[in-house]
Structure 1
Amino acid sequence: MTRPVIIVVGAGPGVSGSVARRFAVEGYDVGLLGADKGVLDELGRALEARGATVGQALVDITDEQAARDAVRRMGEHTGRIDVLHFNPSAFREKDPLSLTVAELLEDVALGVGALLSVVQAARPFMGEGARISVTGSMAADDPWEGAASLGVQKAGVRNLVHSIDKTLSPDGIRAVSVTVRGTLASEGAFTPDRVAEAIWSAVTRDVGDWSSEVPYSG
């Protein structure tokens, strides 16, 4: 395979779909991991129309073995993974007095723990210059108490990205969390396409300008 490859984990119609399309127009082939076949099929057709070869895996990424197997199969098929983009998080509308420990751990397994599974599975296929990106959120610093687990997820995944970046940087692989400091909308500075552009810019920076967190404020 000579074309670069991005794998999008938690692929859907929002930011993750925009990220996939943004990389496709730059000549990337795309692997999609998601939980909704209809969404994956629709996104896959849009990517193919942009010239990308597309692979899909219908998978619950909180199923650790299933997530690892899906990434491994994609890596074996393409022979390389140049960018791994991680998007998922759980929105559960419960404040700290109603949120249970089990619910918190379930949400963290999706929004944080699944990143470990896919990074570890992708690593054998990532060479020098490969990148890992995560859709971050201002909820990491200013959580809404009505959805308390979301802030925990976003703070946790950002912290994990810092550790991943430090671990892999000696091999020339870098990781970044793009902190979206605004609310996603259909118009204005926080559309999924604008956020995807910020993620593209963060991933393709010169290594001399690298930092493992990049804020996007519109």
Structure 2
Amino acid sequence: MSRPVVIVVAAGPGVSGSLARRYAREGYDTGLVGVDETVLTTLAGELEDLGATAHHVVADITDADAATEAIGGLAERFGRVDVLHFNPSAFRQKHPLTLTSAELLQDVGLGVAALLTALQAVRPYMSAGGRVTATGSMAADEPWNEAASLGVQKAGLRNLVHSIDATLEPDGIRAASVTVRGTLGKEGPFTPDRVADALWDAAHQDEAEWRTEVPYSG
């Protein structure tokens, strides 16, 4: 039987990298999607050192056609997807009087809409027991007006995850977002590794008590 597979969208050196390493240590092979070839190559090498098979693709996930081809290609290469993790968001320091509608839509395209592209690309390769997870933020509930689009993204992402879970539950596939209620740092409860552990735990909840939104307060 082939090893389970996780695909990480917007893979990089932070939480997503920590999560990819956690899955590799747990026996998963990994598909990485990101925008920086050097970062992806380095991370893939780290995963292979942990015993995983790791493939990566560089793609603009806001380009639906290109992202579908890239993510679907990874899924086809592995032949299965057990976990899809969605990590991206756009930080734009603009308040509602300077943020334009076009900028808001651009940011939502990255931080929310791209999840639909990724999900639809991998769905044919997911089966019962599959999981979809997303990195959420307290900005969904406590937005900072100086970065207004971020709160909109995180609120929209959490809402979309609820809908994804309701849609896929009849097929035995569940979805959850983790609301990180703190600021990422190099020490303390909000290091990338600690947040990655929370994301792992969310994906491996008891299905009888499944929560589509899991708060992480450290």
Same fold (TM > 0.5): yes
Instruction: Give distance in 1, aligned partners of 2:150 and 2:75.
Output: 30
Aligned residue type for 1:126:
M
For normalisation by structure 2, the TM-score amounts to 0.99
Structure 2 residue aligned with 1:60 = 60
Q: Taking every aligned residue pair, what percent have the same amino acid on both sides?
A: 66
Aligned residue type for 2:11:
A
- Output one character per residue of 1:167-216: Cα deviation in whole Å (capped at 9) or x when no partner: 00000000000000000001000000000000001101121121100000
SS at match of 1:55: strand
1:137-152 mapped onto 2 (5 Å cutoff): 137-152=137-152
Structure 2 residue aligned with 1:48 = 48
Return 5+ residue gaps in structure 2 as ranges. Answer: none
Aligned residue type for 1:135:
T
RMSD (Å), alpha carbons: 0.6
1:56-205 mapped onto 2 (5 Å cutoff): 56-205=56-205
For normalisation by structure 1, the TM-score amounts to 0.99
Question: What is the CA-CA distance between 1:74 and the residue it aligns to?
Answer: 1.2
Instruction: Give distance in 2, aligned partners of 1:21 and 1:92.
Output: 29
Aligned residue type for 1:168:
L
SS at match of 1:13: coil
Question: What is the CA-CA distance between 1:109 and the residue it aligns to?
Answer: 0.2
Number of residue equivalences: 218
In the alignment, does 2:18 pair up with 1:18? yes
SS at match of 1:156: helix
Return 5+ residue gaps in structure 1 as ranges. Answer: none
Instruction: Give distance in 2, aligned partners of 1:13 and 1:209.
Output: 32
